[in-house]
């Protein structure tokens, strides 16, 4: 019997050593050279290198609840006798099979010394960006590292290194990405909290049925029909709600469905796709407001486009009615306020522009004047909470666009104001500048043969050649660094 057991153990050991060499290989992925954890699931810890997922094999796996599971082995249930030890940990044998011996340690993959077990309920009081630490998006750090590897100019590399110290929003732009990015980043943010200092994480909720109905480059996975509307609720919003409720001890900001309601203000009558999406947009907003708007540690900001979308008097008047209706439909859920200039290039201030033929008589030719006007219009319409977050990720330098409505990969781009709370004296209703759209991620492809090609990405002032929306655009990133204002 002992001989049979020994032979079985040796065979299992040989299998185990083979699996441990790179456990991700059996799933069709490479193993990482580094150890930056971006996502953790039942298979193991994952990183991103060269734009591809890779598996992380190191001693940190011993901190997991059952660290040997990612290697294809259960943790021991009834034995603590160590038969074999390697770089992964201590191994025992149960029922003739190898199992990992748990030594203890914290549960989960967070870093920073904090707990990854959610604590007491946190309640946002006032500006959610104030008095907190901003969470740094590890996926963007990885993207920037890859970008630096392509640079030869030492000055440009130094500027790029600084980009890794600033936060930006994490886009939950389809069901798969939501499942991949939401929980792991919430856990890492929680682990970074120490003492009374909270870590704020900002997510973009972006997957409405018929999403971005007036554009091609940013269309989503869900169509404007009843079946996909149900998927949006059950597979997307409900799953987000579950995770938000779990991580109740930390502040969370949600940027809600960029471009959607602005399309409902201006494009219903001229764009058939927007007319077809209207009911699903309104119903989707009502549903998510009721779900997220009652959570004490969550603050929501509805997207209001930008100055050269809704800045004209008649558009602002109509917008006030639309947004009031949407907010009322989500009762008892509440919103903190609104977000402007998401993924756009309109400067915060542009004293060279005034209401006249050059601006098509727009009284709000920059974002500052736009928010000043929107604040008056929204409060007059009876909206109770009117605060703003302005996306300053790409509006630090006046771009080369011939018309302020140009939006795709604009040449002359420059990083704008750094993320900060209460950035403008005298504008108490401006909660923050924040980087919602990460510099370097494309707005859309310039390939005219591509299915998602949008004509705006072929305009003279759009940088070319450009990859698909969301993919890394090195030249655009480098120009944004060079034109940063304030300088990096």
First to last CA, the chain: 70
- Selected catalytic residue, list 90, 228, 443, 454: 443
- Tell me, yes or no, if 259 is annotated catalytic: yes
Does 362 belong to an annotated binding site? no
DSSP 163-224: HTTS---EEE-SHHHHHHHHHHHHHHHHHH-BTTB-EEEEEEE---TT-STT-STT--SS-S
3-state secondary structure of 227: helix
Does 46 belong to an annotated binding site? no
Give CA–CA dist 212/7, Å, rounded: 61
Does 153 belong to an annotated binding site? no
Does 403 belong to an annotated binding site? no
Q: What share of the chain is helix, strand, coil (3-state, %, to 5)?
A: 35, 15, 50
Give CA–CA dist 474/145, Å, rounded: 12
| Cβ proximity of 100 and 54 under 8 Å | no
Nearest to 457 by CA among 398, 415, 411, 416: 411
φ, ψ dihedrals at 159, nearest 5°: -65, -40
- Selected catalytic residue, list 259, 340, 377, 391: 259
Give CA–CA dist 24/47, Å, rounded: 11
Roughly what angle, to the nearest 10 degrees, separates helices 154-163 and 138-148?
180
Give CA–CA dist 340/389, Å, rounded: 7
Does 348 belong to an annotated binding site? no
For residue 299, the surrounding DSSP H or E stretch is strand 298-303
φ, ψ dihedrals at 425, nearest 5°: -65, 135
| Cβ proximity of 463 and 410 under 8 Å | yes
**Long-range pairs for 90-93: beta carbons < 8 A, 24 or more residues apart:** 91/16, 93/5, 93/9, 93/12
Does 171 belong to an annotated binding site? yes
Does 285 belong to an annotated binding site? no
| Cβ proximity of 206 and 169 under 8 Å | no
Does 35 belong to an annotated binding site? no
Give the burial string for 343-381 (b: 16+ CB within 10 Å, else e): bbbbbbebeebeeeeebeebebbbbbbbbebbbebbeeb
For residue 337, the surrounding DSSP H or E stretch is strand 337-340
The total number of residues written for the chain in this structure = 488
- Among all residues, which ones are annotated catalytic? 259, 443
Output the known binding site for substrate: 171, 173, 306, 309, 344, 407, 437, 441
Output the known binding site: 171, 173, 306, 309, 344, 407, 437, 441
């Amino acid at each position: 019997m002992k001989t049979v057991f020994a032979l079985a153990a040796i065979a299992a050991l040989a299998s185990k050593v083979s699996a441990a060499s790179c456990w991700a290989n059996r799933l069709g992925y490479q193993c990482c050279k580094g150890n930056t954890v971006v996502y953790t699931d039942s298979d193991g810890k994952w990183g991103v290198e060269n734009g591809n997922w890779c598996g992380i094999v190191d001693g940190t796996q011993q901190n997991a609840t059952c660290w040997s599971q990612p290697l294809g082995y259960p943790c021991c249930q009834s034995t603590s006798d160590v038969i074999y030890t390697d770089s992964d940990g201590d191994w025992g044998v149960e029922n003739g099979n190898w199992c990992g011996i748990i030594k203890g340690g914290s549960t989960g993959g967070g870093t920073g010394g904090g707990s990854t077990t959610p604590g007491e309920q946190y309640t946002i009081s006032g500006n959610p960006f104030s008095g907190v630490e901003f969470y740094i998006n590890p996926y963007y750090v990885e993207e920037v590292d890859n970008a630096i590897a392509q640079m030869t100019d030492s000055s440009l590399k130094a500027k790029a290194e600084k980009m890794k110290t600033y936060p930006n929003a994490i886009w939950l732009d389809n069901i798969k990405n939501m499942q991949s990015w939401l929980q792991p980043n919430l856990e890492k943010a929680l682990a970074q909290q120490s003492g009374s200092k909270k870590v704020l994480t900002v997510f973009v909720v972006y997957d409405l049925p018929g999403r971005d109905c007036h554009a091609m480059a940013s269309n989503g996975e869900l169509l404007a029909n009843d079946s996909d509307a149900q998927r949006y609720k059950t597979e997307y919003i409900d799953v987000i709600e579950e995770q938000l409720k779990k991580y109740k001890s930390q502040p969370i900001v949600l940027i809600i469905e960029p471009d959607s309601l602005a399309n409902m203000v201006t494009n219903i009558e001229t764009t058939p796709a927007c007319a077809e999406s209207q009911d699903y947009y309104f119903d989707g907003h009502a549903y998510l407001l009721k779900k997220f708007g009652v959570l004490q540690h969550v603050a929501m900001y509805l997207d209001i486009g930008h100055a050269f979308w809704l800045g004209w008097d008649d558009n602002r008047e109509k917008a006030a009615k639309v947004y009031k209706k949407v907010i009322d439909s989500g009762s008892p859920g509440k919103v903190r306020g609104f977000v402007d200039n998401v993924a756009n290039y309109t400067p915060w201030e542009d004293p060279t522009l005034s209401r006249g033929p050059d601006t098509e008589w727009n009284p709000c030719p920059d974002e500052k004047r736009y928010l000043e006007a929107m604040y008056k219009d929204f409060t007059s319409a009876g909206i109770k909470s009117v605060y703003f977050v302005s996306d300053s990720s790409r509006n630090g330098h006046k771009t080369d666009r011939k018309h302020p409505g140009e939006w795709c990969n604009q040449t002359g781009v420059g990083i704008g104001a750094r993320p900060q709370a209460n950035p403008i004296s005298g504008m108490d209703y401006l909660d923050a500048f924040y980087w919602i759209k990460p510099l370097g991620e494309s707005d859309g492809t310039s390939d005219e043969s591509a299915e998602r090609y949008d004509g705006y990405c072929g305009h003279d002032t759009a940088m070319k050649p450009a990859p698909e929306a969301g993919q890394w655009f090195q030249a655009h990133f480098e120009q944004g660094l060079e034109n940063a204002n304030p300088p990096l």
